[in-house]
């Protein structure tokens, strides 16, 4: 079921500025804002901590290394 909401002109302009592409709907913009405000789940937090540790330990490849390995 769809519904219509009323927003001020100021809010509409702000939502328009947040569009990633011209035909993006305001609903998509609002969903993106909601998603951005959710806290990360515990699994994601653990994965981020692990990735940070690996970077500190030097366990990563630079973009140049990857390009060279792939022949770019």
One digit per residue, pLDDT tens: the chain, 72 residues? 889 999 999 999 999 999 999 999 999 999 999 988 888 889 999 999 999 999 999 999 999 999 999 999
**CA–CA dist 5, 58 (Å, integer):** 51
Domain boundaries along the sequence of the chain: 7-38, 40-72
Compute CA distances 2 → 22, 25, 29, 51, whole Å.
22, 14, 16, 41
pLDDT of amino acid 37: 82
């Amino acid at each position: 079921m769809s519904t219509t909401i009323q927003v001020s002109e100021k809010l509409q302009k702000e939502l328009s500025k947040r569009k990633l592409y011209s035909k993006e709907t305001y609903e998509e913009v609002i969903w993106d804002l909601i998603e951005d405000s959710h806290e990360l789940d515990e699994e994601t937090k653990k994965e981020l901590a692990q990735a940070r540790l690996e970077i500190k330990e030097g366990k990563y490849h630079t973009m140049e290394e990857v390009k060279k390995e792939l022949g770019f």
